[in-house]
Structure 1
């Protein structure tokens, strides 16, 4: 066990108007400030209220990083918050921030070519040591597939096998992996299905390690934006990358895939989804974890696909992401003693907030995980869905 919470102040006095407003807001989700349930917030510093009223989710997240509050079961806290759509009840000056953020995302392309590498530099280049210790041996940083798995290692292997079977990979085919990460899927496909793979990433650290992990295999790992790609491929796959494309770029994204995919090819899109079209991005997540991200809704995807691809299969296993995230957290917590000198307590609290709030998001059902199998209209042969 680590001691990052040791020496925390005793709960703050909550006999204030601010505390009463927040308690009233949270009571719909069964949450109380300084309550006795493990999902209740324990407020250590009244500065929390000023931060929350000023910027809402940004203030809540930053005040957690600052140690203004704690929660024994952060994942359950966010499950309750997300399940009851408490963001819709935002009060105070944060309303102005909400409106401005909606306008920013409406009128600006936050995922343009010039901004494409920002998420790689800020998030995926944090440190390969962290991801090697947190993830499974394949280093898959996306939802695992748990129906017949007993642990994370098996669940990620089953996910890789599922993807390859859905793509109907055959020896000698050429596979494009858009957003290849640390090369886990590229290596698996090359080793188990004897295909040639071109993987692309926007992270220098991912490229470096992926090349090492795929050495000696017919795998090529490139540092490039998907819009720069050329050539023809029998199959195309994209796992956990579409979340960085942005709604303003969906048409171009699918146009690029259509241009690269052979007439009889298959394209598998693996992406987090939102059960409704989001008006704005979580500002804390945008600032500290995934800059310029956007979670697509089913409506946004189908609108962008119209006239470009047939949907051969649409598979949702979003509940599996909750279990995946909790497994990542368990690995991170166990590995923290070897990481803490490099990353520090504030990073620990940031990462804990990120992983466990994400688990609550998927547990609530607002977060989905979709795998779509797409083809061009003229593809020959009947496609049979795989599970």
Structure 2
């Protein structure tokens, strides 16, 4: 080997060494990138898994292992085949993975996943919900499928809780013994319960979206719309009593209206709750009528008790007066007295004022009028029970008792009347 050949070999060796160094540096960089990608894949906060086209797990990150309660990645890598998993086939995972292996990305609807059914040791007994997306990835002419599991458990739980709450409220509204209905800001019915359907004799499909003007006479519709507008304007609840003419008669009900607000506090609708009070109103009317009848009966009874007329002998009647005598009672005294004289053919009437506490002009006038009326009927009046104080009062007010005979006690008046009656009988 000459010098020239040796130098050529030396140059080729140097070039190869440089190339090896380049390749080693590129390999180190590639390994670094692979390690970086692996670390990123492992640490991303979203559950992810890589499958090959055969359905085998190629890699799975920590978040997915935690989500699926997989204690060790080696338990599934190269071992678990999604395309051959009966549960994955039944739930639709396999179909979406197979679609992605053909180059078509897809997203599954939220699906439940029970970690206890996986069969791994120490798996928690819990139900999770995931929304899985599948995307094909081609690397060096080989296809893989990356699937990402979005944990939507809290969203599904919140949605279910909301649906349960809504169903609970709808159950209350639907079974409430009152008319419950909601109208939007334009006055269109958004919600009605079965009581409303029965009340207006129309199913809710015919009610929803309609306004009061389309359902009721103009006068009633305008009244309803005005009260809704007042509630929206003031933002305060409103209670009113209404009547509605229906085929079966007039229906009375009490309605409470109040605004419904959105999350920002803006009114978006008006809710109304109407209670049928027709039966109550009818009962109140009957009670008032009965009360009036009872009051009338009581008044008649009191009138009879306050102006009693007692026949004690043939041609002799006694009227004991008790309590205060006003104009109305004075009229009753006179009416009862005259009627009793005619009915009993009395010739002597004893007016006993022992129970009258105060003698004023009203009492004196009553006594004078009674005496004159009795005399016109041909009878005689005997006034009893006048005490000294009462006699002085009668004198002071100038009461003219005329030919009326007086006795201090009822007993004395009865004795006088019976004596005169006996004398008249002998004649």
TM-score range, shorter chain: under 0.3
| TM norm structure 2 | 0.17
Higher relative contact order (Cα pairs below 8 Å, separated by 6+ residues): 1
Identify the structure with the greater strand proportion: 2
**TM-score, normalization: structure 1?**
0.19
Is the radius of gyration larger for structure 1 or structure 2? 2
